Structure 1
Amino acid sequence: MNTVDAPLSRGPHRSWRLAVASVVVVAAAWVIVGHRHTVDAGADRLAVADRDWLLVAGAAAVSTWVCAAITQQGAVTERLPAGRLVMVQFAACAANHVLPAGVGASAVNLRFLTRCGLTTARSATALAVKAAAGGLVRFALAIVLLLAMPGTPRLSPAVPRDALALSIAGCAVVAILAVTLIRPLRHRAGRTLRRVLTDVRAVHGSPSRACALWGGAVGFALLHATVLIAVVRALEVTVPAGHILLAYLLASGAAVLLPTPGGLGSLDAALVLTLTAAGAPGATALSAVFGYRMLTAWLPLLPGLLALALLARRSVL
């Protein structure tokens, strides 16, 4: 019975998935065309950059997808197919750059995990655990760097006070809303929280899963910073690597406050500000951010969307 019904049920779903993939491709093309002048200016500056350092940056960018797959595997106790998991992270990265605030990556990973046999609730928990691990790792690394490097540049006029005030105000609003809503949602959230804690304990009960979760999260953050460091070195700017790493960690944390696709605009502005505060010339900071974006977003975008369509066609998603 299942063998007879499967093709019939799969047809409409496959058409729907292909339609969504087509819409995503069109949206990506629209974003690239809208930023063609910035693309041309940054490309001219990178055209004379050091090729060896750009190759290092490219290798680090590719490795981020492997680290994302390792982190996702560490967030669940079940064994996931490794090859498909890496391919899904590649496709999720592309989807994340055309949909707001990580919605694309979350949707792709959620679909993949449910296809692997996890319930929707457990899949959502795995995504939350992965996101929490990434956020905690970035925060911890930033604190360690701030304490370990006495020469770290401090906030200066290069960082607008209004932006800092807005960030603090945003955190305060979130805290107030959490306190206000926690009582009426307590009974409903209690069951969900217990389920989440059960899954978290199960993951950390396995040393291999815990190492994959936290090690992958650390590797993901450091590799993204490595891309930025290598691009800065390719432009022959002598800003200390530790300062660039700290600039990336602070910028990526600040970009979360503005939910744009892949941090487009928010992450770019934050990176330029923090790189400038770290000692990079303004024009070079712009070029470095453009190079970082080219390697982590624009160049992999079309292949990633093609991979997304292929995974949907093969019913992996």
Structure 2
Amino acid sequence: MTMRAMVLKNYRFSSILEQAEVKIPEMKDNEVMIKVRASGVNRSDIIDVVTSAIGVCPGLECSGIIEAVGRNVNCWKVGERVCAILEGGGFAEKVVVPADFLLPLPDDIDLDDAAGLAYASCSIWPALFEMCVAKTHEDKTILIREGTNGIDALAIQYAKHLGLKVIASTGSSDTFSMCYDYGADICLDHSSTSFVWEVVEKTGYSGVDFVLDYGASDLERNIDCCRRRGKVFIVDLHGMLSNSIDLAMLENKQAEIKVFDLPSRDVGYKASVIAQMRTHLWPAILTKKVFVVVWHRFEVTEAQKALNLLKENDNIGKIIVHMNFEKTSFHLKMD
């Protein structure tokens, strides 16, 4: 039994994704098999293409229909619509995943767009847990950097849903309107030399309580934006190096820096994140108070183009790969 998938192949001293026939993965008793409808593209997929062995299929999240369930799975049924985080393999017709990695999708949520929900939401949740479930978020302000990319567009919406005041920053005032649409209270241009001063001014000269950044390239300014005992949360370093920081400044502010990296964590941790997020965040998805922002769509046979586009680091929203291997019968939905 085989299926079609996009796998890594050698090509002139580099690895690229190409279509191949591969074995359908075997399903264990605590797993389900999903017929994949679409898969979200993430920066960790780029790292996988660079570091993984030939023949590996990337893809860390997907949406689709449950096709089969293991004998120990009682919480899911064949035919249910779901999205899921994965250990890889999402750029394929079918994927096998632990039952604890799934999230439900009602009929009125777009199944294609939902492919971009699970990984970003699970990446954000540990930081939001630190702020909100620990009951430390009353009248608190969060600075969310790069407010228009896929993960931070969701972060703005989730933060507002949980009751935080949101300052969103982007590299251009042209994108402020998008951040306001997601619910941001204040938008600032972090390419400005006066960015830190503007943040401090907007917070009554105290600084923000929390900073959420996707990477650590601007760590010192993030600390500068914090108030005393503020916290900087880094979501997925993706192998990026951070700039040096002034430890005396960090000590003086008594600030904390925490890094959350979803792909490197074990199965138990990921299952616990899914369970917590399903309780605290997923109701906002089910009631459409929070939505995924899709920037670009590709057919699965163009998955390499999708990764190359993400490398440009200029995305405004998520990139979705639609699991269709027969181009002639498929038309991508236009936003």
TM more than 0.5:
no
Which of the two has greater helix per residue? 1
Structure with greater strand percent: 2
Q: TM-score normalized by structure 2? A: 0.23
